[in-house]
Amino acid sequence: MQRFAIRFSFDGTTYQGFQSQPYQNTIQDQLEHRLRGLLKRHVRIISWGRTDAGVHAQGAVATVDLTKDEVERFAKMAGKDLDDTTNSNEKAARFLFSVLKEFACNTGCTENPQTRYGSIASKSVVAVPIDFHARYSALWKRYVYYIYSGSFYDQLPFVWSRYAWQVREALDLSAMKEAAKLLSDKEHNFSWLSVTQAGELRDPRRNVNLTVNEVPMQLDNDDTIPYFLRAKNANVYKISGTCDFFLYKMMRRIVGILVAIGQGKSDAATLAKCIEAFDEDENCKEQIPHSFLETAPAKGLCLDHIEYSIPI
């Protein structure tokens, strides 16, 4: 058997998350359906993890195993543009990339395929060792979250309504940066900033790196930014979080706290007390202020990158 790693992106708006579910439309189901049509057999991919409904990805990773005969068959279908020095694994990877480049066109008019767009697309396909695991071989992951903020709520570009949390109030960027520093670069107990799932055995004490930045989306007398992204009289913020692994809904809970502080509903001093309390005793949930309990909407979250010891 030969294992191939697929790095891919997806628009999660119309899906019920990544993981396969009975009678639901998921990213995993679409990927496996596509591969099943190529291989003419049952296919089960192994992924980096999973995402909730509505969450997007730019750097998701999954693996699929092919037999020697399947590798040879795909290598022959890769095209004549590859020279003789390219081995069968590289040719098969090139073919897989081409057929997964853009697919799962589940939007638009079914009678007219030209109105539909691919909501899943491969970014790279490479042959990897058979012991490579999309989840357990990961060194770290990075999520990004976008927030569209401003009093001119009705002028929201339609693209941002799919990929960002719209917050009507102006946000205090300095306060959000200060709060992010409190949660960063030191090991903390994040159990209170996640939803504990049955059977979760991983240590909730993690070291997370968080950054909060404003994204320029409107330049004076400059049309270089596409019209569907321009944020007139408003602000777009990008919150980036990097960690070896994230607990369930951890990133969205962190974003909810940063926004609450940016809105003035709480402050960094209160956050510091919560962090200190939970680092000492994880059973003190009664000390969490109500303003810290909001989970940010899924649509603003994107799995940006997963790093491995080998290039994917």
Tell me: the pLDDT tens digits for 192-248?
A: 888 776 566 678 888 999 999 988 765 555 566 676 666 666 788 999 999 998 989
Q: Give the gyration radius of the chain's Cα atoms.
A: 22
Pull the structure tokens for residue 258. Answer: 């940063």
Above 90 in pLDDT, residue 52? Answer: yes
Select from 199, 203, 200, 211 the least CA-distant residue to 187. Answer: 203
Above 80 in pLDDT, residue 28? Answer: yes
Half-sphere exposure of 12 (CA within 13 A, CB side): 27
Is residue 137 very low, low, confident or very high in pLDDT (cuts 50, 70, 90)?
very high
Pull the structure tokens for residue 28. Answer: 């995993």
Counting Cβ atoms within 10 Å, is residue 123 exposed (0-12), middle (13-18) or buried (19+)? Answer: middle
Q: Which pLDDT tens digit goes with each residue over 83-130?
A: 565 789 999 999 999 989 877 555 444 555 554 567 899 999 999 999
Query: For residue 218, what pLDDT is reported?
Result: 59
Q: Which pLDDT tens digit goes with each residue over 249-287?
A: 999 999 999 999 999 999 999 999 988 888 887 666 667
Q: Which pLDDT tens digit goes with each residue over 59-90?
A: 999 999 999 999 999 998 886 655 565 789 99
Query: For residue 108, what pLDDT is reported?
Result: 43
Name residue 143's beta-bridge partners: 241, 303
Query: For residue 223, what pLDDT is reported?
Result: 62
Select from 171, 300, 156 the least CA-distant residue to 230. Answer: 156
Select from 174, 144, 164, 300 the least CA-distant residue to 234. Answer: 164
Above 70 in pLDDT, residue 153? Answer: no
Distance of CA 56 to the CA centre of its chain: 5
pLDDT cut 70: percent of the chain above it: 82
**Contact indicator for 267, 175 with CB cutoff of 8 Å:** yes
pLDDT cut 90: percent of the chain above it: 55
Dihedral (CA of 310, 11, 116, 161) sign:
negative
Letter for the amino acid at 255? V
Pull the structure tokens for residue 239. Answer: 């919150």
Query: For residue 132, what pLDDT is reported?
Result: 97
Above 80 in pLDDT, residue 146? Answer: yes
Contacts with 79 (C-beta within 8 Å, 6 or more apart), sequence order: 94, 95
Q: Kindly report which listed range (1-5, 13-17, 147-151) carries the lowest average pLDDT score.
A: 147-151
Above 90 in pLDDT, residue 49? Answer: yes
**Contact indicator for 280, 188 with CB cutoff of 8 Å:** no
pTM above 0.95, yes or no: no
DSSP β-ladder status, 209-215 and 205-206: unpaired
Name residue 60's beta-bridge partners: 8
Name residue 141's beta-bridge partners: 243, 306
